[in-house]
Every structure is written in C-alpha cells, then in structure tokens.
Amino acid sequence: MWRSGYAVTLLAAVTYASLPLPSYIKPCARSDPDFNICALQHAKETFPVFVKGDRKYKIPRMDPLEIAEMEISEGPSNGGLSLSMRNVKMYGLKHAVLQKTEFDFDRNHVMYDTNIPVLTILGEYEVSGRILLLPISGKGDINITLINSHLTYSYDFDIVERNGNRYHVTKNHKAVVEPTVGLYHLSNLFNGDKLLGTQVNGFLNENWQEIYRSMSPAISEAFAQVVGNIVNTIASGLPYDALFPVTGH
C-alpha cells in the first residue's frame, strides 16, 4: 500500500476581517430551486479571473499550483519504492472547464466536477527501489503530464459567528484526479545512463495506468490541500450570507 506525505508552499494567511464581495463573484440565492445551475454559470464566469489570484483577498495565483514537497513510499512487500518530489509546480488549471456544481445546504457539503485538458506536473525528484518489480534509481527533473483529467473536489463546512457575521469554516477537503492518459519522463535515471533511462521511461509510459494508480493518492491529496487552503482563505474573509444569500436581490 502506498503512503504519501506532503507539505505545501501555499499557506495563505487567514484574514478574520469581513470584506465586501469582489466584483467578479456573483452570488446565487440559497432559496433558488435552480441554485446549482446558477452557481455553475457564475463559477464559469468567475474562474478565469479567480485563477489569476487576488492580493486584496489573499487569493494566490492558481496556475501553477505550488507544492514544496511530495513523498511517496511503498512497503518492502511491494518493492520498497521511495519517491520524493520537491519544488513541484502543477500547470494547466487555468484551462480547466467546470462541468458540475453540487451545493447541499442541508448537509453542509459542496462538490465540483471539472475537466482539465492538460495537467503538467514539474519538479525535482529522487527515487530508489523498485516499481512494478523493476529496479529504479535516479535524481533529477521529473515531468508528469496528465491528459483529459477529471477532477472531483469536495468539502464539508460548519457555520460560525464572528463580529456579527456568519462565516463557513471548511473541512474534509477531498480531491480525485483521474486522467485519460498519463505521460512520464524522469531525467538522469541511473546516474545518467541514457540506455537504461530510455528503457525505464518507456516502461513507465507503457504501464502508465498502473504507475498512476500508485501515485494518484499523493497527487489528489496535494490538490485537496492546496485548493482547500484557498477555499479557507475565501471563507475566512467573506461572510457566508453575502456569498450565499437567502434570497436574491
């Protein structure tokens, strides 16, 4: 079984100060029976602006997403692989297409379905051990390119009152990234042995589904951590009843 640990560079400060809604966020009324249709349409309009970041609201740029470190390890019974990735940057979210939103105000649960045409993960890696029983070692640059990925992101929330306003505090952030195709390239495998490096990179790409199945928990958890941090920043500064008014204006 694979286990992953990670730390993110994107640690946005919590504002705890009530701010007016930015002009590019258009709220939908919670009483609207077509709330999710409204929310999806407004999210599609907002996302191209939102992904660029907004300093006033402490929203960082989302393309690339930056992760300081991702650690992936496999127990000795499964080969004893150890893969670490540092200074990781994920590119492609700015081209994401939102496909579905589900807000359940009774259960305090939110879910988004998104398609990402090309998600490119770049960073520095160090690997040792075995992968699918194949010996592997090296240290250099890594490129993971995921084509036509389906991203599901969800979270729960609680309502708290602060300084006369209600805010939603998010928790249980989860993400699942499911690509149609995965491509891998690790430079400087086996201390720069070009023949072995070419063979192993070819093997990784021929078996991309099995490889990705092993790596996906770390990638998905990193997404949940980083995006969840951004959502928390928004929730901490914008009152719940301004983001989700009971009725329309």
Is 150 contained in some domain?
yes
The number of distinct structural domains making up the chain is 1
Residue pLDDT, tens place only, 44-82: 999 998 899 998 888 888 899 888 888 887 655 455 678
What's the pLDDT tens digit per position in 112-160? 999 999 999 999 999 999 888 889 999 999 999 999 999 999 999 999 9
Which pLDDT score, from 0 to 100, does residue 176 have? 95
Long-range contacts of 15-18 (CB under 8 A, 24+ apart): 15/57, 15/58, 15/233, 15/236, 15/237, 16/162, 16/236, 16/237, 17/237, 18/163, 18/165, 18/237, 18/238, 18/239
* Nearest by Cα to 141 from 121, 119, 125, 159: 125
Q: Residue 75: what pLDDT?
A: 56
CATH number, residue 66: 3.15.10.30
Assigned domain for 249 exists? no
Q: What is the pLDDT of residue 10?
A: 40
**Is 154 within a domain?**
yes
Which pLDDT belongs to residue 71? Answer: 83
Q: Are strands 134-162 and 181-186 parallel, antiparallel or unpaired?
A: antiparallel
Please report whether residue 95 resides in a domain.
yes
Task: State the pLDDT at residue 101.
Answer: 96
Q: State percent of the chain over pLDDT 90.
A: 61
248 lies in some domain: no
Domain extent, residue 123, equals 2-243
Query: What pLDDT, on the 0 to 100 scale, is given for residue 3?
Result: 42
| Contact predicate 181/149, CB 8 Å | no
Query: 108, 156 in Cβ contact below 8 A?
Result: yes
Domain assignment present for 147: yes
